[in-house]
Amino acid sequence: MSSVWLPCGDYHQYYEEDQGWWQSRFIKSKMILLLLIVFAGIPLLLPGYYVSVATMVGYTAMGALGVQLLIGYTGLVTLGHAAFIAVGAYTSTLLWNCYGLTPWLGVFVAVAAAVVLALIVAYPSSRFGIVGHYFGLVTLAFGEVVRLLLIAERDWTGGSLGVTLKSAGDASLLAIQYADKRVFYYGAFVVWLGGLWVWHRLDRSMARSAMEAIGEDETAAASVGIHVSRFKLAITSLSAALTAVGGVLYAQYITYVNPETLAGVGVSLRIVFAVVLGGMYSLLGPTVGTALTISLSEYLRVKFGVHFIGMAETIYGLVLVIFIIFLPSGIYGSLRGLFVRRRTTPGPVTARA
């Protein structure tokens, strides 16, 4: 704190605000540390089934983070983000199966392929001013094109039957294949933390204001010197890269990829639903939404099995409508907003002698 002269009353108020800021950061640090300890201890405390669900949450949350970057900052509605999951998963799998390229290197090729495809979609859309729901329709069509291409190129991808990851035999660091699924959980944990770090860095950068201005009004943003096309291409590429990383790790964990389970429209909609459910403008919102949607899907699968086909989609739709109406900020976003309002509510004013 800089040493400046202030009147006694103003200094007292400034000191209290500074102390509150420090205490707030201290409390946040303790909460984050507690959450990290809890997440790190999950494989040691819970059965393998719950560890598997938590691992899937970590990988899928990467796609949700990517969608949040687009919708939350620039207002670009994407309905085909599952295509980048499929590109990442299939690229690393085929490189390993056909050429023996380790996934440690295949992930970079997969990310590059996803970024190239994202630019192919984003550049014409930005060039011709396609925004809003029209951009959503473009991404929806793009996702379907990727899915149909994966089915058509059956000599490489196995078509609608999918393809299985070639086994490396015993546990292999080079192939990222382990019988102990806890290894994949910790891998998902580390990658998830990396995704949160990227989001946090972007949220604290000057680019955030520029992207929010673009989301409000592109013409007004361009009039004040913001390079609209450059920012939109950059955020779309970053979003695709995060999603592709999640796809690569998903393929390594499941050891099987299929066009319907990776690039289908339902997958893209579930990702968007997770972002809306958790909170569109919060750091942990996509993760909370992803955990809830995957847990709900698993519960319905165990509860109803194949007796009520389409029950999950029906419940997803009903819950989405309810949350859009009553909790537009999502679960995590609403709880955080409530906590902030309680902390900032001024107390009763007392007279001073």
Taking the CA atoms of 230, 146, 82 and 240 in sequence, report the sign of the dihedral they define.
Answer: negative
Q: Return the pLDDT at 352.
A: 43
Residue-wise pLDDT for 70-119, tens only, equals 887 888 888 889 999 999 999 999 999 999 999 999 999 999 999 999 99
Is residue 270 predicted with pLDDT exceeding 90?
Answer: no
Q: At what angle do helices 228-254 and 182-203 cross, to 10 degrees?
A: 170
pLDDT digits (tens, 9 = 90+) for 285-298: 888 888 888 887 78
What are the pLDDT digits (tens) for 136-195? 899 999 999 999 999 998 888 888 889 999 988 777 788 888 888 888 888 888 898 898
| pLDDT for 343 beyond 70 | no
pLDDT digits (tens, 9 = 90+) for 28-58: 566 667 777 777 777 878 788 888 888 898 8
- Give residue 166's identity as a one-letter amino acid code: K
The dihedral region occupied by 75, where left means phi > 0, alpha psi between -120 and 50, and beta the remainder, is left
Neighbouring C-beta atoms of residue 276, cutoff 10 Å: 25
Paired strand residues for 164: 256
Buried/exposed 282-299: b ≥16 CB within 10 Å, e otherwise? bebbbbbbbbbbbeebbe
